[in-house]
Amino acid sequence: MSELRDTRLEKAKALKELGLAPYALNYDPSHRTATLQSDHADLAKGEERDVQVSVAGRVLTRRVMGKLAFFTLADESGTIQLYIEKASLEAAASSAQEIAPEDKAVEEKAAQAKAVEAKASEDQVSEASRPSAFVQLTTLVDAGDWIGVSGILRRTDRGELSVKVLQWQMLSKSLQPLPDKWHGLADVEKRYRQRYLDLIVTPQSRETFRRRALMVSAIRRWLDERNFLEIDTPVLQSEAGGAEARPFITHHNTLDLPLYLRIATELHLKRLVVGGFERVYELGRIFRNEGVSTRHNPEFTTVEVYQAYADYIDMMDLTEQLIASVCQQVCGSTRITYQGTEIDLTPSWRRATMHELVLEATGLDFNAFADHSEAALAMDAAGLEVPKAADSVGRLLNEAFEQAVEATLIQPTFVTDYPIEISPLARPHRSKPGMVERFELFMVGRETANAFSELIDPLDQRQRLEAQQLRRQAGDLEAHGVDEDFLQALEVGMPPTGGLGIGIDRLVMLLTDSPSIRDVIAFPLLRPENRTSTDLPGTVTVDN
């Protein structure tokens, strides 16, 4: 690798000696490669079209065959072949030196620019010994280099639309070789560590992140068109709340204040509703100091939406309309394929309670159990694990759901009516004691959205947060603390409100057929190379 780098450094030096800057200031291409491919699809084999074009991009491949060479040039939109013919390139270079009198001012400016770039020393290459334009291009340009070229269009005898190169310019000399053209990046972890290489050699990766960007724009546009306002909330918070999650802790030096990176945007968006905004949302980064797996990354993206005068049923309607619309815009259909399975996102989606789904999957009716002991014995008899932390019937119901049901929910399904013990921010159910008005959306066995009829009773909310605080003091690092400012805001008065959170990364996974969350996050968090888990304090668990 060092020998290849040394060779490329020598080529960069040779470019300087020829007065050709290896790192240009700018370039102004007239077209993108995809536009040329579409606009000139009618050009017949073996024919040329005298249309002056210029393109810029990275050289992916190169073939030199005597007095003819073929390069593949890639820009963001696609690729095009460069047809480099020695006679044509050198004739164009020769004619370019014959500048008309009216162009003297241009010539003088060009000469001044050349003088700045070139080395004013005796080792400059003389015109007599100067390599021809064809030799320069074919010997000093490597795969990986960025170049700009101009010329006319030609369709080769094999049918490949090409730019017949008449002029070229080095834009940026690459000192490192690209991964093998045919094998790409076989090392999956290297794809995540060196995403720039992955994007260069893997068109599917570029398409994934293009779709992600389109999806985020479509979500914002859909909400904006329905009078939702996006308002930023703080990332640094004095009390992390809005979810059951372990936060990252930091410190503000000037204020000598411990702070948390936010685990949700919920509590601040609710403050905005208290303040009079009836429809608000924020699409942004969330940070949770938790495990890493194919569906979890400590830094991820959500959109949280709050609508005054709505409840969780309204939020179900909003969720399926929003996701179906985004899918139609990004994928062209509400029917997609994920890992070989067709997923139908056409509304309306299945709605079922947690009780119903657990009964259907296990035969256990948690409504019939008198107490925790009876529910635990029934779970054990059914072959389900009974964790010690599941200290109530409601928590056992949730455990049974996670173990026996969650992975089976492939088509979009709203799971409704959750136990109050695991939903400290949701409103008590209007007709089911011990339950709350909450749903989670599951698709392909993964939770993708979470929503409530929001709890607006400040006294009830205080009791629940204080209960969470006791769990935290007992060692539950994911339990809520008591956010006094949020409770004070509720006492000012919050209208009935429906709230929704959607995991952007998991939705992107679905719409791009990506098996791992690391495939849809451009720069996922990874353990540093050459360090083992024993080297890292507080190492997160890894679930592959």
Mind spelling out the 3-state secondary structure of 381-436?
Answer: HCCCCCCCCCCCHHHHHHHHHHHHCHHHCCCCEEEEEEEHHHCCCECECCCCCCEE
Q: Please tell me whether the peptide bond between 348 and the residue prior to it is cis, using omega within 30 degrees of 0.
A: yes
Instruction: Give the Cα separation of 306 and 497 in Å (integer).
Output: 7
**Which phi and psi (to 5°) does residue 496 adopt?**
-50, 135
**Contact yes or no for 35/77 (Cβ under 8 A):** yes
**Contact yes or no for 443/450 (Cβ under 8 A):** no
Instruction: Give the Cα separation of 158 and 165 in Å (integer).
Output: 18
Tell whether pTM > 0.85: yes
**Burial class of residue 386, CB neighbours in 10 A (0-12, 13-18, 19+):** middle
- Token pair listed for 147: 């170049």
Instruction: Give the Cα separation of 439 and 444 in Å (integer).
Output: 16
What pLDDT, on a 0 to 100 scale, did the predictor assign at position 531? 62
Instruction: Give the Cα separation of 211 and 410 in Å (integer).
Output: 22
What pLDDT, on a 0 to 100 scale, did the predictor assign at position 129? 65
What pLDDT, on a 0 to 100 scale, did the predictor assign at position 384? 97
What pLDDT, on a 0 to 100 scale, did the predictor assign at position 398? 97
What pLDDT, on a 0 to 100 scale, did the predictor assign at position 2? 84
Instruction: Give the Cα separation of 264 and 301 in Å (integer).
Output: 10
Per residue of the chain (544 residues), give pLDDT as tens: 689 999 999 999 999 999 999 999 999 999 999 999 999 999 999 999 999 999 999 999 999 999 999 999 999 999 999 999 999 999 988 876 654 444 445 455 555 555 545 444 444 445 556 789 999 999 999 999 999 999 999 999 999 999 999 999 999 999 999 887 545 567 788 889 999 999 998 899 999 999 999 999 999 999 999 999 999 999 999 999 998 899 999 999 999 999 999 999 999 999 999 999 999 999 999 999 988 888 899 999 999 999 999 999 999 999 999 999 999 999 999 999 999 999 999 999 999 999 999 999 999 999 999 999 999 999 999 999 999 989 999 999 999 999 999 999 999 999 999 999 999 999 999 999 999 999 999 999 999 999 999 999 999 999 999 998 998 888 888 888 899 999 999 999 999 999 999 999 999 999 999 999 999 999 999 888 776 544 444 433 333 3
Dihedral angle sign, alpha carbons of residues 471, 473, 475, 479? positive
What pLDDT, on a 0 to 100 scale, did the predictor assign at position 179? 84
Beta strands in 23-121 (DSSP E): 48-65, 68-75, 78-85
What pLDDT, on a 0 to 100 scale, did the predictor assign at position 507? 98
What pLDDT, on a 0 to 100 scale, did the predictor assign at position 411? 98
Beta strands in 326-387 (DSSP E): 335-338, 341-344, 350-353
* CB atoms inside a 10 Å sphere around CB 76: 11
Torsion of CA 273, 278, 279, 284, to 10 degrees: -20
What pLDDT, on a 0 to 100 scale, did the predictor assign at position 185? 65
Instruction: Give the Cα separation of 356 and 439 in Å (integer).
Output: 13
Instruction: Give the Cα separation of 365 and 378 in Å (integer).
Output: 9
What pLDDT, on a 0 to 100 scale, did the predictor assign at position 30? 97
**Exposure b/e, 182-192, CB count within 10 A at least 16 = b:** eebbeeeeebb
**Which phi and psi (to 5°) does residue 62 adopt?**
-150, 140
What pLDDT, on a 0 to 100 scale, did the predictor assign at position 126? 52
What pLDDT, on a 0 to 100 scale, did the predictor assign at position 95? 79
Instruction: Give the Cα separation of 51 and 30 in Å (integer).
Output: 11
- Token pair listed for 102: 């009216």
What pLDDT, on a 0 to 100 scale, did the predictor assign at position 474? 87
Instruction: Give the Cα separation of 489 and 13 in Å (integer).
Output: 66
